[in-house]
Amino acid sequence: MKKFYFFIFLFFIFGCNVITDTNKDNSNILHKNIISTYFYIGEDASKDNDNIDNISSAWDENWSIHYGGIDDPNDRNQSFIYYPATFIPKENPFYVALPYNDFDDNGNKKPDLKKIIPWYIATYQSLMKNRWVKITKNDKTVYAQIEDAGPFEYNDWQYVFGPSNPINTFGAKAGIDVSPAVKLYLGLKDVDKVDWKFVNSDDVPDGPWKNIITTRGVTWLNKTWPQFDINTTAEIQLTNDINTSYDVNLYDIDLFDTPTDTIDELHKEGRKVICYFSAGSYEDWREDKNEFPQEAIGKKMADWDENWLDIRNKKVREIMKKRLDLAKIKGCDGVDADNVDGYTNDTGFNLTYQDQLKYNIFLAYEAHKRGLSIGLKNDLNQINDLSMYFDFAINEQCYEYNECNLLTPFVLQNKPVFNIEYTEDDSICDQSDKLQIQTIFLPKNLDGSFRNSCH
């Protein structure tokens, strides 16, 4: 497979049949009778693969390390043949490569992506990595994630997203590379033919391909915003005068109500500052309250004096950009964007999973564009789709609701999870430590009246 610094154009047409199908993602091409070959993570370079190793991938410089080792096709787990024999993978063993990379040789996004990729959205992350495909051979179907670009081509968008034939001319002239697990599940020969198409993550049925889902984003990215690891400690206080005496790495404070002097003081003490604002609700006491259009203000939130927002509204998005601008002006290092799970609530608007996904990625992109880190607040159902875009997670009461295991994708990417429990009972700390979650015990109104933590 290919890294950014290695790129080849070979133009040769190899026959295949293509038919159209209907897909709600508007990626409606079913590619039929595509030649498939197999590859595996940790594979050494050889003449069979054009002297290109698979230790790294198009998007992950430490692919084999992040996977957990070499996905040896000749040494499989006797109890579960989809895993290698010597370890349980940290990422999905059902993976494929398709001949398109949305980054160029220098690690920059390619031009015209909006015209090429059906699910385009502005983001620094790859629009290809971790995407799901459905692969069929005769009467068997498997689902897999895209984790590399190839085989041997990296800009064949006319085939990947359209009705053209693959341009690859090397070796077997394959149009798709599959992992050992995919090969075994479908009973493929080393060189075979399959049908494939893109599918949305929420359309992927249960199966062995969902035991471990890859969520790690692009590791080649030159990230210009602050990064945190799983050992980062935090204090979260949104009301009253901020108690700056806690020995923690970062403070999460209110964007509007906290004076710039407090942010400066925390910086002088070596702390990072995360600034809180609601990205999904209307609060009638905020200084920008009059900017919200009436048609974008929905039903009242349960238990809170706030109203849900129509996150599809363009004016709402412009207001959120201004809030991010304010965070940058005040010197915040990142943001805590709250109420980003409206699609699961009675908002008064017909918000869908995809509406929320696009909005949350929009927030992450706009934050990163300003050099700000951003945390994913709650929204547990979308973590597998969103953890690669966000830099940390903030959750409320995952222990009370028995949901902490859903936050694992952040931990696997060495990103911190800050869990708030609205109690003074710290008996759950052993469990929190095992999950590598930073649990903080705080008052529900986050007024600084007490604080305890597992660290």
Residue-wise burial string across 154-193, b where 16 or more C-beta atoms lie within 10 A, e elsewhere? bbbbebbbeebbbbbeeeebbbbbbbbbbbbbbebeeebb
Q: Which pLDDT value is given to residue 196? A: 98
Average pLDDT of the chain is 92
Q: At what angle do helices 314-330 and 353-369 cross, to 10 degrees?
A: 30
Q: Which pLDDT value is given to residue 369? A: 97
Residue 221 burial (10 A CB sphere; 0-12, 13-18, 19+)? middle
Helix (H) or strand (E) holding 336: strand 334-338
Distance CA 333, CA 250 (A): 9
Do residue 128 and residue 257 come from a single domain? no
Q: Which pLDDT value is given to residue 52? A: 74
In a domain, 288, yes or no: yes
Contacts for 87 with CB less than 8 Å, ≥ 6 apart:
68, 69
CA–chain centroid gap for 178, Å, is 22
Do residue 257 and residue 400 come from a single domain? yes
In a domain, 2, yes or no: no
Distance CA 453, CA 448 (A): 13
Residue 455 · residue 235 · CB < 8 Å: no
Do residue 265 and residue 382 come from a single domain? yes
Do residue 178 and residue 276 come from a single domain? no
In a domain, 359, yes or no: yes
In a domain, 227, yes or no: no
In a domain, 242, yes or no: yes
Q: What pLDDT band is residue 427 in, cutting at 50, 70 and 90?
A: confident
Q: Examine the pLDDT at 7 and tell me if it is beyond 90.
A: no
Do residue 185 and residue 41 come from a single domain? yes
For the stretch 308-349, pLDDT in tens is 999 999 999 999 999 999 999 999 999 999 999 999 999 999
Q: What pLDDT band is residue 50 in, cutting at 50, 70 and 90?
A: low
Do residue 201 and residue 270 come from a single domain? no
Q: State percent of the chain over pLDDT 90.
A: 88
For the stretch 299-310, pLDDT in tens is 999 989 999 999
Do residue 168 and residue 271 come from a single domain? no
Q: Examine the pLDDT at 16 and tell me if it is beyond 70.
A: no
Does a cis peptide bond (omega within 30 degrees of 0) precede residue 259? no
The CATH number of residue 316's host domain is: 3.20.20.70
Do residue 176 and residue 294 come from a single domain? no
Tokens in use for 384?
Answer: 């597998």
Q: Which pLDDT value is given to residue 25? A: 43
In a domain, 444, yes or no: yes
**pTM beyond 0.85:** yes
Do residue 181 and residue 249 come from a single domain? no
In a domain, 35, yes or no: yes
Do residue 139 and residue 264 come from a single domain? no
Q: What is the dihedral of CA 376, 380, 384, 389, to 10 degrees?
A: -10
Tokens in use for 25?
Answer: 């993602």
Do residue 39 and residue 92 come from a single domain? yes
CB atoms within 10 A of CB 6: 11
> What are the angstrom distances between the C-alpha of 131 and each of 51, 98, 128?
26, 11, 6
For the stretch 94-110, pLDDT in tens is 999 999 999 998 899 99
For the stretch 58-97, pLDDT in tens is 999 999 999 999 999 999 999 999 999 999 999 999 999 9
> What are the angstrom distances between the C-alpha of 406 and each of 237, 389, 412?
25, 16, 11
For the stretch 123-163, pLDDT in tens is 999 999 999 999 999 999 999 999 999 999 999 999 999 99
For the stretch 179-227, pLDDT in tens is 999 999 999 999 999 999 999 998 999 999 999 999 999 999 989 999 9
For the stretch 218-268, pLDDT in tens is 999 989 999 999 999 999 999 999 999 999 999 999 999 999 999 999 999
In a domain, 367, yes or no: yes
Structural domains of the chain, count: 2
Residue 83 domain boundaries: 17-210
Q: Examine the pLDDT at 374 and tell me if it is beyond 60.
A: yes
DSSP 393: E
Distance CA 91, CA 88 (A): 9
Do residue 260 and residue 194 come from a single domain? no
Q: Which pLDDT value is given to residue 44? A: 86
The CATH number of residue 24's host domain is: 2.40.40.10
